[in-house]
């Protein structure tokens, strides 16, 4: 879970860095400093919203009473396995075996 969060955080940094670079290289010369900042802000907002929408399900997060629950259900070699944790730390539900499969 921490690794996935770190990967997404680094992706946000990369996208925002590219947005800032594009603003400096192309938008400022074409539109001027003030308008370039406004356009870059709008583009950055859309990029972050898009990334959050696309990458959010990859974290496999759910919410119960405003608290995040992280986990996954798996099926490996015909055996089911589920592991869900409150805030990614406290085990909430853990089960495995053929009874989980059905």
- The answer to whether the beta carbons of residues 49 and 15 sit under 8 Å apart is no
pLDDT for position 94:
76
Q: What is the pLDDT of residues 40-80, one digit of tens each?
A: 999 999 998 888 888 877 776 665 666 777 777 777 777 78
pLDDT for position 71:
77
Residue count (the chain) = 102
pTM of the model: 0.56
Q: Is 75 helix (H, G, I), strand (E, B) or coil?
A: strand
């Amino acid at each position: 879970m921490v690794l996935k969060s770190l990967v997404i955080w680094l992706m946000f940094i990369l996208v925002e860095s590219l947005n800032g670079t594009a603003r400096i290289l192309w938008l400022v010369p074409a539109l001027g400093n003030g308008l370039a900042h406004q356009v870059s802000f709008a583009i950055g907002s859309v990029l972050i919203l898009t990334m959050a929408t696309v990458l959010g399900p990859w974290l496999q997060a759910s919410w119960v009473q405003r608290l995040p629950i992280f986990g996954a259900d798996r099926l490996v070699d015909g055996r089911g396995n589920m592991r869900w944790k409150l805030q990614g730390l406290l085990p909430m539900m853990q089960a495995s075996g053929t009874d989980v499969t059905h």
